[in-house]
Each structure stands twice: as structure tokens, then as C-alpha cells.
Structure 1
Amino acid sequence: MNNTKTSDLPLFGAETETSEIKTTDRRKMREPFGRIDSDELLREKLLPHCRLKSGEKWVDPVSGHIVGVADVVDKNQVGKIIDNFRPTLCVADPPYNVIVGARNTKALSQLSMKDYDEFTKAWLDTVLSSMGENSSFYVWFGADMKNGMHPIPEFCIEMRRRKEWVARNWITVRNQRGYGTQKNWMWVRQELLYYIKGDVSFNIEAEYTDIPKILRGYHKVVGGKRTENLERSKSDTIRAGNVWVDIQQVFYRLKENVPGCYAQKPFKSIERIVRAGSNHGDYVLDPFSHSGTTLVACEALKRRCIAFDIDPIFAEISIRRLERLRSTGLLGWQCENPFPEIS
């Protein structure tokens, strides 16, 4: 079991992943550009500054991480990037198949349910066949209310067909901000499904939060003595359980923010998954790298990450984010430009 504690992790500068800029005028804070996936003119400016093209990979000379550009359904491309390594953990954040932010783009688009289900089966075939004999698999999902909660039911059925993979938990992450409406409950949740194959380790210390225990009660006689739950506890803080309420959504005021990366996953959530599902030196796979959060979490926790994305720009951002972490101790750019080469 890995005994790494939060207090043992390197402190990246004086800032935490939820640190906000100290200013009294929020209007002065603006990201240098909008969504990378939906701005074709911006993409034309950024692509010449990307070191990788489709099918290529970058091998980190320091920690052995691998970052590549590959289509997740292309077994040949993916195989060349993963090589002969067999990750023990996969963290996947595929497109949710909903029109995100009222925009239908190539990267964040809405396919027909049939086409999306075929895409899901194809990438599962590629990714899961690359995993080690004893592996953990976490996958993020959203649900489309207009299409009967698609694609969560279809995904669960597809995974049920894969007999070697066993469902272990359904985690709900509560966002601090949600999608408001006056005719329904505010949507403030994201779903995280957890599967395992074989005999895997689960590092329980990763589950403890920074939230102190305050609820007393639950008396029980132990060794002839009547005790209550706080006396029997192994920690002064509560466990996250399968409803995570201590995760801050990423937005432009946070130091970990990566401009242009819409729907970026918080470092704290990925860090928790990586700590729970892997040990020092293990390989962790991220087939939808996007802003590179899994990569920097692996760097912080002394794991080796294999991350790839179909988009060369997101692969480049992932590499630059790792390099920035090492040179400055910062987890992101907040409102600074990850591509200072362009104005």
C-alpha cells in the first residue's frame, strides 16, 4: 500500500490548486482567448507551435511520461504510443455527447445516440485491451436529460458485457456552480464510474478529505467499553465516500486554470483518483488528455503518465503545463497565455 499523505506532496509555490488571484476588480481578469476547440482562427495560430502531429509522441526525459497525438479508436496509433507498457490505472474523460455551452463543435459535439454508442465501444476496445492484468478504470460522464440519460445506461450495459471488468462504485462530484433553471433542480453534479479488473490495490488514505469530523453519536460497545464514533475513528477528517463535496470547479480565477480548455477537470479530483488507484512508479493512462491534469497529477505523485489526445493543441498544452509546473511550481496559467508566441 502506498503511504503517501497529502502533507508529503510537494507544495507548488505558495499557491494551492484552488488559490484565487487577490484583486478587487474582477473585470480586469480576462483569459487571453476563448475555447480552443471552437475557434478556427485561433487554432490556425496555435497549430504551428505544436511539437507533435498525429501519430507522434513525446517522451519526457525527466520522469518518463509519454504524451502523444492519437485517435482513441485507432488501435495502431494508440499501440505505438503506449508501446509495451501496461498501465495499472486509466482515467478517461470522453466527450459527454451533449452540446456544451450551447456550442456544437468537433471536440465537444452531439452525435446520434447510435453513433456515440459505437464510438464508446470502439474506444473501450482500444483502451481496455491496453491495460495491465490488475487494473482500475475511472470514467467521467454526463447525462443528457432529453435523451433518457444517454449515454450512461448504454455505457453500463456495454461494460457489463466485458466480464473481466467489475463495477466497483458510482461517484458523484458536486460542483460549486451549476446550470441554473427556474423549472427544475439546479444541475450541479458530474458522474464518475469506477471499475476494476483482477486484484487491484486501493489506497484508502487517498479518500480522506480536509473536512473535520463534527458529528458525534453512533455508540458501540468495544471491548466492554461504550464508545462513540469519534473515539473509534482512524482520522480526524471525514472520508470522501462516493459523493465528493470538496472539489472546486475550475474557472478563470483559479491558479490551475488553463485558458481555452473548456470543462477542465479539477486537479484535486484527479489527484485523489491517482493516489487511490496507483502506486509510485506505476503507469497511468489518460486517453483524452485535454488540459493535461492527469499528467501533472502523476508528476506530483511520482507516477508515470501516458496521455494522448486527438488534438495536437491539447497535447501541446499538456506538455507545456508539465514544463510550467517544473519551472514555476504552478498548476496552470490562470489568465496568462499558455502560448506567449501569439498575441
Structure 2
Amino acid sequence: MKNNPLPRLDTNPALRKALLPFCRLKAGAVWEDSLTGHKVACLDAAFADQVAYLMGREKATMAIHDPPYNLVAFDELPLRRFIDWCEKWVRNTERVLSADSSLYVWLGADQKNGFQPLPDFMIMMRHLPFRPRSFITMRNQRGYGTQKNWMAVRQELLYYVKGDPVFNTDAEYTAIPKILRGYYKEVNGEATENLQRSKSENIRAGNVWVDLQQVFYRMEENVSGCYAQKPIKSIDRIIQASSAPRDVVVDFFAHSGTTLLSAEMNRRRCFTMDIDPLFCEIAIRRLEHFRSTGCLGWQNGHAFEKEYTSPK
């Protein structure tokens, strides 16, 4: 296994300075994929005109956003300002979604600081034109063992809808077999239990996703330099549940490019942006890397290996 990782890019000014010359996008630029129509843009999701520039005349069926947790352009904001910033990109999302569409937002909950910003974000969403549908968590984010080694910032997934969007329940089945009997119900005069009535031998994911592995350096899909990367299977599940082939999926915080890659694998078009040229470049390179090698990431290597060698 390679041992050539990058440290976190958002906290290393010297490394950022070394890598920025290798980025093909500058602020305001849009890269469009000639094969499928994916777009990657170096834009700011808080500005409606920049979001409109990314979308053109297209409308999206769903949005998947993973905003930085109380960080905007690497500066920590007071909670109220962070929520005000979130409201801007949520409203901009609503403008580019179709009448019947879905919004998924990954958000942090700092248990050492009143679980912020999660509850504040949820309260803010009450007066916006979305209806809440589910609150999802990945069990692996909870930590193991004693309280000392729990993750302080949990990563939760909020699911909202606009109108009456499609939801494909088949996408929710896991690889975990059903083993528990119970929940008896009378059907056609006969008492049946849940395994008899089921359409599948496997359980659905529900709102606690116990079947997904948190991304770490030994996994092929790992993209070093990117913090809090989401498992591609989690994005696959979301995309398959709430969109159809050739639909447009938007992601305003490209980061490691997971939504872009999942859209490619599931035959959707992804319009994504990031305010940081480095993450735009990583997203594009990850797509190109997948097409040329079939690999989902660089494991313990990185996206700039041809141009830059990490110091030992």
C-alpha cells in the first residue's frame, strides 16, 4: 500500500501554495465534462448569480450538500453568522430545484459545544420552503469503546423535500439479512410475521445506517487531504433513492468529489462547485482517475502525485 498521503489541505497554507499552480480552475471558472455533461465550478454557493451561472437553464431533481461545519473559507464564524450563511445557500438551492425534488444536508453536531450547529440549522429550516422527511445517522460516526475516544463532532444527514418527489425504496435495502421474527399482522385472515410479508430477505437501512464504513486511509476510496469525506455508498444510496438516470444532481461543496463520482457511476449528471480551486481540481481528477483506472480514490496516495511528493 502507498504511504504518500497529504495532510488536511484546509489547514496547511504552505501546501496550498505549492498545489494551487496545478489547479485548472480559478474563481469564476466552470469545467464541463464533454462525455456526460457534468460540471465543476469554482464558485460561491452563497451568491444567487453564481449558482445561476452554474445551472444555466437546468433544474435539478435533488441536492446533496456537505458544508464545512462552522467554517467558511477556513475562518470560523460566530454561530449566528454561520446560520445566516447557511440560509443563503439553502435559498439558492431551492431556486434551482425542480417543483418535486429532494434536499440532503450533511451537518456536524459538536457534542462539546451544545451540539451546534445542527439544532440551529434545523430551526432555521423551519421557515424555508422545504418539508423535513428524515434525520439519518451513520453508526460508525458514534465512536467505539469509552467516551474518551468518541468523535466530538458527529456527522448527521438531514433529508428534506420540496413538493412530492420520487423516492425509490429499493435503494434502501442493505446487504444485512433479516434474522428477527416478530411484528405479527393479520393478512387475509391469517396471522403472519414480518419475514413472511417481506419483499426482501435483507433489511432496509432505516435512519441509522449501520452498514456503511467510515472512510479511512486503508480504503481505496480515500482522498487524502480532504476532511470528513463521506462514504461513496452513502451517496449512492441517496442518489438511487431520490433521482433517476440522466437527472441533474447538485452539490455546492464538492470537496473530495464523492457526489460527482457517485453521479458518474449511477448515470446522473452532477453540477458541483466549491469556493476552493484545490477541491475543484481534486473532484475533476478523481473523476478522471476513476475513468482511467476504475479506482474510487487514491487510498493512502493523493491526487497530485505526478506534481508533488509529500515530505516524509
Q: 1:59 aligns with which of 32, 38, 42?
A: 32
Task: State the SS of the aligned residue for 2:15.
Answer: helix
**CA distance in 2 between partners of 1:127 and 1:282 (Å):** 16
Task: State the SS of the aligned residue for 2:273.
Answer: strand
**CA distance in 2 between partners of 1:48 and 1:186 (Å):** 35
Aligned-pair CA distance for 1:218 = 2.4
Is residue 174–residue 189 contact of structure 1 (8 Å, CA) maintained in 2?
A: no
Please say if 1:165 is aligned against 2:130: yes
Q: Which amino acid aligns with 1:66?
A: K
Aligned-pair CA distance for 1:204 = 0.5
Give the equivalent residue in structure 1 for 2:52: 79
Structure 1 residues 291, 67: closer, same or farther in 2, change over 3 A?
A: same
Give the equivalent residue in structure 1 for 2:92: 126
Give the equivalent residue in structure 1 for 2:79: 113
Tell me the TM-score normalised to structure 2 length. Answer: 0.93
1:287-306 Cα distance to aligned partner (Å, 9 max, x none): 00100000010001000000
Please say if 1:290 is aligned against 2:255: yes
Please list, as runs of the form range in 1=range in 2, the aligned pairs for 1:329-340 lying within 5 A after superposition: 329-339=294-304, 340=306
Give the equivalent residue in structure 2 for 1:237: 202
Task: State the SS of the aligned residue for 1:235.
Answer: coil
Tell me the TM-score normalised to structure 1 length. Answer: 0.85
Please say if 1:261 is aligned against 2:226: yes
Give the equivalent residue in structure 2 for 1:26: none
Is residue 250–residue 272 contact of structure 2 (8 Å, CA) maintained in 1?
A: yes
Is residue 89–residue 283 contact of structure 1 (8 Å, CA) maintained in 2?
A: yes
Give the equivalent residue in structure 2 for 1:218: 183
**CA distance in 2 between partners of 1:273 and 1:228 (Å):** 29
Identity between Structure 1 and Structure 2 (%): 54
Please say if 1:148 is aligned against 2:121: no
Please say if 1:251 is aligned against 2:216: yes
Aligned-pair CA distance for 1:182 = 4.5
**CA distance in 1 between partners of 2:73 and 2:268 (Å):** 31
Q: Which amino acid aligns with 2:223?
A: V
Give the equivalent residue in structure 1 for 2:10: 37
**CA distance in 1 between partners of 2:228 and 2:307 (Å):** 24
Task: State the SS of the aligned residue for 1:270.
Answer: helix
CA RMSD of aligned residues (A): 2.0
Structure 1 residues 186, 323: closer, same or farther in 2, change over 3 A?
A: closer
**CA distance in 2 between partners of 1:283 and 1:71 (Å):** 19
Q: 1:202 aligns with which of 160, 167, 174?
A: 167
Q: 2:139 aligns with which of 164, 174, 180?
A: 174
Q: Which runs of 4+ in 1 moved over 3 A?
A: 179-189
Task: State the SS of the aligned residue for 1:143.
Answer: strand
Is residue 69–residue 311 contact of structure 1 (8 Å, CA) maintained in 2?
A: yes
Is residue 33–residue 39 contact of structure 2 (8 Å, CA) maintained in 1?
A: yes
Is residue 201–residue 277 contact of structure 1 (8 Å, CA) maintained in 2?
A: yes
Is residue 73–residue 275 contact of structure 2 (8 Å, CA) maintained in 1?
A: no
Is residue 289–residue 315 contact of structure 1 (8 Å, CA) maintained in 2?
A: yes
How many residue pairs get matched?
Answer: 308
